[in-house]
Homo-oligomer: A and B are copies of this chain.
Amino acid sequence: MTFEQRVQDRTAVIGVVGLGYVGIPIALGFSAAGFQVLGLDIDADRVAGLNAGKSLMRHVPDEQITAMLARGFEATTDPARIAEADALIICVPTPLDSHREPDLSFVTGTMDALAPHLRTGQLLSLESTTWPGTTEEVLRPYIERAGLTMGEDFYLVYSPEREDPGNPDYTTNTIPKIVGGTTPACLAAGLALYGTAVEQVVPVSSTAAAEMVKLLENIHRSVNIGLVNEMKVVAERMDLDIFEVIDAAATKPFGFTAYYPGPGIGGHCIPIDPFYLTWKAREYGLHTRFIELAGEVNAAMPDYVIDRLFRALNTRGKAIKGAKVLALGIAYKRNVEDMRESPAVLVMERLRDLGADLSYSDPHVPRFPRMRKHRFEMTSTPVTPETLAAQDAVILLTDHDDFDYAMIGQHAPLIIDTRGKFRDGGDTVVRA
């Protein structure tokens, strides 16, 4: 029986490697499509939690995990069990190292663990964002070293994740899925597989093209956010309200798309992915100047926020040292609890270093989580008229819908507003 037949009659077992923000939604999708799903992760706590029906992610309710368990889902830490799977979908992180270069160690670590267990008839799909060429140059040799023939007894594809946690309009199965294959047979197998779980599959001519698609999407966002951050600084110096300007420009029904400035960029994609292309382009003697500029401008935003605070406090004869400062919203974007690469944390660290009497409030982050590079022993402060009135300054960093902006505007003596939520605040509101 061919791979595609096993997919069609749902006897194929879907292995998902890496059970995080990307892996869990894809596992849920294939489970809902009628497949038995086997999840693999190196984190034993996460595996145990999932097997006990715990989602570990706010935007995925536990009921979805228990329903998937009822349909035969199982999580394991044992890579040998991957031999049971027909499809291996790799959803592991691809971060940057401390020199801002690609860190593929999660991908190669995964491949090292899986390699002894690869077998005839399997399909392997990488979903992690990475530089064009990764699938061919890094993954393909693993398959070939295992003695498997590409496109004949093994299929290799690249299909970038496009998850957007918290987006109310789109879910994994309604977001079109790009697929590139190492051979035409690989591509066909990949399309057959993903076609069972997502409404629209989009074939491209190679795995490298698919890798570039994902990078272009995130480079586009990084550069557009960089641009409005630069425009924000210019507008503020000219005494113009950049949010008013952007909203008015957005009334143009063609040729303009609104992006909004903020205290920097966060999340696991936009601050990181573009530099995968930067790194690869150097191999060709090329510089990705827009990526570098966007990175530079966006990375300067936390200091810009601090500078705006410093000047506003200074006008009142106060230093940052000893000032009571409340950070409002510390997740990396609106209405989520995700803290990865949140620029709010960078602002908080600067405030701590400068000696501020710092607290934070975030309805989605009741306790400051353990992070690889950042450490705060803090819990979320309730936002009340009293706590607001007791501050020297309040910095709005992430504009969750749950905040009562009218109440905040009424009681905070000074608001540093990085999100344009306070439009006519008079002297107590400073844009940053």
| A contact residues vs B (CB 8 Å cutoff) | 132-133, 162, 164, 167, 169-170, 174-176, 178, 200, 202, 204-206, 208-210, 212-213, 216-217, 219-221, 223-224, 226-227, 230-231, 233-235, 237-241, 244-246, 248-249, 251-257, 277, 280-281, 284, 286, 288-290, 293, 297
Contacts and interface: CB of A to CB of B under 8 A. Distances in A.
Contacts of A208: 238-240
Given A176-B252, A212-B240, A213-B249, A220 B257 contact: yes
A160 to B, nearest CB: 10
A177 to B, nearest CB: 9
Given A205-B244, A212-B240, A238-B132, A249 B217 contact: yes
A297 B231 CA distance: 19
7 contacts: A170-B253, A170-B254, A176-B252, A200-B251, A202-B251, A213-B249, A293-B293
Nearest to A286: B234
A257 B254 contact: no
Contact of A245 (B212, B241, B255, B281): B212
A135 to B, nearest CB: 13
A237 B280 CA distance: 11
Given A219-B231, A277-B234, A286-B233, A209 B245 contact: yes
Contacts of A132: 238, 240
Contacts of A213: 245, 248-249
Q: Which 6 A-B pairs have the closest CB atoms?
A: A176-B251, A237-B284, A213-B248, A257-B257, A227-B290, A216-B249
A43 to B, nearest CB: 29
Contacts of A297: 289-290
A274 to B, nearest CB: 11
B241 A209 contact: yes
Contact of A280 (B224, B238, B289): B238
A231 B216 contact: yes
Given A230-B288, A238-B284, A289-B293, 17 more contacts: A167-B254, A169-B254, A202-B251, A208-B240, A209-B240, A210-B248, A212-B238, A223-B227, A223-B290, A224-B224, A233-B286, A234-B277, A234-B284, A237-B284, A237-B286, A238-B280, A289-B297
Most buried by B among A164, A206, A246, A251: A251
Contacts of A169: 253-254
A242 to B, nearest CB: 8
Nearest to A289: B293
A167 B254 CA distance: 10
Given A170-B253, A254-B169, A286-B237, A248 B293 contact: no
Contacts of A288: 230, 234
Contacts of A290: 223, 226-227, 230, 290, 293, 297
A175 B254 CA distance: 9
A248 B286 contact: no
